[in-house]
């Protein structure tokens, strides 16, 4: 990635631009394998950050963990597209139908975030994974008693900021360690 583009991305992140804005600017033509790999790993981090919400709701997280792990393995070239395909989440999938029926519950949003990391189309998958992860975290916050609109707005801003900063770390020269799947959201 050219230095001037990288400098603009850093400026956007420093000013806490939404991750979608950063990705939109940073997007390079399809075929930039290194950028696509980093974008997929960032999406996996966003999903992993929301994963503890399943445990808090006493929900099984094994499928979500498997999807995140597969996405990371694919990004590193440890598995091929055929091995990633079982984790992909087409629009007519049972996972999407369950999310619609549950009115996009926290658990369904976490599962969708994990599944989106395994999308064959990394551009769409990364955006969807980040959005579903953010929605899961925000829905969990909204579910808490006595939370004000101001506090919810702050939490929303904080999560967008975390995602943008995390994307910046993935786009930096030195890549970060993966976000652990056991770390609390």
- Tell me how far apart the alpha carbons of residues 134 and 109 are, in angstroms, rounded to a whole number: 9
C-alpha 73/C-alpha 24 separation (Å) is 25
pLDDT > 70? residue 21? no
Q: pTM of the full predicted structure?
A: 0.80
Q: Across all residues in the chain, what is the average pLDDT?
A: 78
Cα(150)–Cα(17) distance, integer angstroms: 19
Domain ranges in the chain are 33-160
| Least confident span in 7-11, 154-158, 164-168 | 7-11
| Reported confidence tier of residue 6, pLDDT bands at 50, 70, 90 | low
pLDDT digits (tens, 9 = 90+) for 32-78: 788 889 889 999 999 999 888 888 888 888 888 898 999 999 999 99
């Amino acid at each position: 990635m050219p230095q001037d583009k990288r400098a603009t991305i850093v400026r956007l992140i420093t000013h806490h631009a939404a991750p979608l804005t950063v990705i939109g600017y940073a997007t390079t033509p399809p075929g930039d394998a290194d950028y696509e790999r980093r974008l997929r790993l960032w999406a996996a981090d966003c999903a992993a950050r929301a994963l503890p919400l399943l445990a808090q709701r006493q929900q099984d997280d094994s499928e979500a963990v498997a999807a995140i792990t597969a996405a990371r393995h694919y990004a590193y070239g440890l598995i091929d597209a055929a091995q990633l395909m079982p984790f992909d989440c087409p629009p007519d999938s049972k996972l999407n139908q369950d999310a619609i029926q549950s009115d996009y519950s926290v658990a369904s949003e976490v599962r969708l975030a994990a599944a989106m990391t395994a999308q064959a189309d990394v551009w769409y998958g990364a955006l969807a994974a980040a959005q579903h992860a953010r929605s899961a975290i925000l829905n969990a916050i909204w579910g808490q008693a006595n939370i004000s609109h101001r506090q919810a707005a702050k939490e929303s801003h904080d999560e967008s900021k975390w995602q943008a900063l995390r994307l910046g770390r993935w786009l930096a020269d030195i890549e970060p360690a993966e976000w652990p799947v056991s770390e609390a959201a």
